[in-house]
Amino acid sequence: MDVVEARDEYFERTGVYIPVCADGGIVHDYHIMLALAMGADFVMMGRWFARFDESPTRKVKRNGTFLKEYWGEGSNRARNWQRYDMGGEVKNKLSFEEGVDSYIPYAGPLKDNMDIAVCKIKSTMCNLGSITLKELHEKARFTLVSAVSIKEGGAHDVIQKDVETNR
């Protein structure tokens, strides 16, 4: 939040708006909304997109679960010497690995998931009375809640139907 305040103060002082990027940590679609509500102007979503069929990585099955390969931008696997070159032969390597080389849960086709994510973003903005990102930044409020209140806020004491079989 300090970054957002600094951006806004700088804009007031100079008239120059510097966008804030939420880089990393976008795993679920609601994380997109959280980042935007906290003041981000855009989000980096490599990990989110990597879960889908359209990602060029391999789909693998581990312990009965389908996963997709994923490696972060700062990982040794993804390093780009033009981007990370520090000059000279000795320095021409990364000092440490910043990203991960791992697996993430497979999520199927992008289109199905994208439609759901966009609907969730629109719904949340509508619930806040926000049409624009600027309005979202102004109107969004966060409230600390307990794990019990989250559980109580969801469906409980019911047995949910399997949507596909309608049972």
**Residues 88-140: pLDDT tens digits?**
565 545 566 666 778 999 999 999 899 999 999 999 999 999 999 999 998 99
Give residue 72's identity as a one-letter amino acid code: G
Question: What number of other Cβ atoms are within 10 A of residue 112's Cβ?
Answer: 12
pLDDT in the model for residue 4: 84
For the segment 57-76, the average pLDDT, to the nearest whole number, is 87
Angle between helices 110-127 and 29-37 (to 10 degrees): 40
145: tokens are 């809640």
CA 99 vs. chain centroid, Å, equals 15
Q: What is the pTM of this model?
A: 0.73
The rounded distance, in Å, linking the Cα atoms of 105 and 86 is 35
pLDDT in the model for residue 2: 79
